[in-house]
């Protein structure tokens, strides 16, 4: 059984995939005031299916953990739901599994944090372009360092298209390819901004630019190395 301290209001979606089809059917789920997770789940409304590529036809997978592992959904109210979870990098979804059905969280802004195994995820808004503050999207990030400035990691995966057969070459299926992580900084209520170099970092941390710059120089740190970034942000958060 899964127990909650108080009422839990969370919208989720159910992914019911039928074998042999490239279509996923979605249904909203509403969870409220329950003690037993399975017995208190109820379907609220249904929606038309949305076309998707079947992962079974693609080489590789887009998950950090392919199998579901123990995790927690932590609401902004402080309530906690413990359940097996996984993160789909390609679709940018937090998912959980109940028997043969896979559910995805759709009301992400109700969540303060999601913990999968030992990895913390935060859903927040980020700038798609550092030069255009109006170009923003929401996404899940790994919360690497928490404080007045959060260090976030965005996992990235691309779908390489299938290749038709050629002379002396058999057809190749589509393939998921994990590519380099990207790093973002998020200060308090501001949008997350990507850090591509020292100039970006010092611009974001401009209130302590001199101190941070000297710390980087003294300790011979770089901004493209995650361990170095953790040290830099830890130093900034201590000021």
Give the pLDDT band of residue 210 (cuts 50, 70, 90): very high
pLDDT number for residue 52: 54
Per-residue pLDDT tens digits for 63-108: 999 899 999 888 888 888 888 899 999 989 888 877 777 888 878 8
First to last CA, the chain: 44
The ranges assigned to domains in the chain are 1-117, 120-239
- In whole angstroms, give the CA distance from residue 18 to residue 139: 28
Over residues 5-33, mean pLDDT = 38
Give the pLDDT band of residue 53 (cuts 50, 70, 90): low
Per-residue pLDDT tens digits for 123-171: 999 998 777 777 899 999 999 999 999 999 999 999 898 888 888 888 8
- Residue % of the chain over a pLDDT of 90: 51
- Burial of residue 75 (number of CB atoms within 10 Å: 0-12, 13-18, 19+): middle
**What are 56's two structure tokens?**
């079974």
pLDDT number for residue 101: 78
């Amino acid at each position: 059984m899964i127990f909650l301290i108080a009422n839990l209001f969370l919208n989720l979606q159910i992914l019911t995939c039928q074998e042999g089809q490239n279509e996923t059917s979605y249904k909203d789920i509403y969870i409220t005031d329950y003690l037993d997770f399975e017995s208190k789940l109820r379907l609220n409304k249904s929606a038309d299916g949305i076309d998707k590529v079947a992962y079974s036809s693609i080489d590789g997978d887009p998950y950090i953990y392919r199998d579901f592992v123990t995790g927690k959904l932590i609401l902004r109210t402080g309530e906690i739901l413990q359940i097996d979870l996984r993160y789909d990098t390609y679709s940018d979804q937090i998912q959980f599994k109940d028997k043969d059905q896979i559910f995805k969280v759709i009301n992400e802004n109700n969540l303060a944090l999601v913990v999968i195994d030992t990895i913390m995820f935060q859903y927040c808004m980020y700038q798609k372009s550092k030069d255009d503050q109006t170009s923003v999207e929401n996404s899940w990030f790994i919360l690497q360092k928490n404080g007045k400035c959060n260090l976030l990691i965005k996992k990235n995966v691309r779908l390489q298209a299938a290749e038709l057969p050629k002379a002396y070459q058999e057809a190749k299926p589509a393939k998921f390819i994990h590519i380099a992580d990207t790093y973002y900084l998020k200060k308090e209520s501001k949008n997350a901004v990507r850090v591509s170099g020292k100039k970006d970092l010092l611009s974001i941390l401009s209130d302590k630019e001199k101190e941070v710059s000297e710390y980087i120089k003294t300790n011979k740190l770089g901004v493209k190395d995650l361990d170095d970034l953790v040290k830099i942000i830890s130093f900034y958060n201590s000021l």
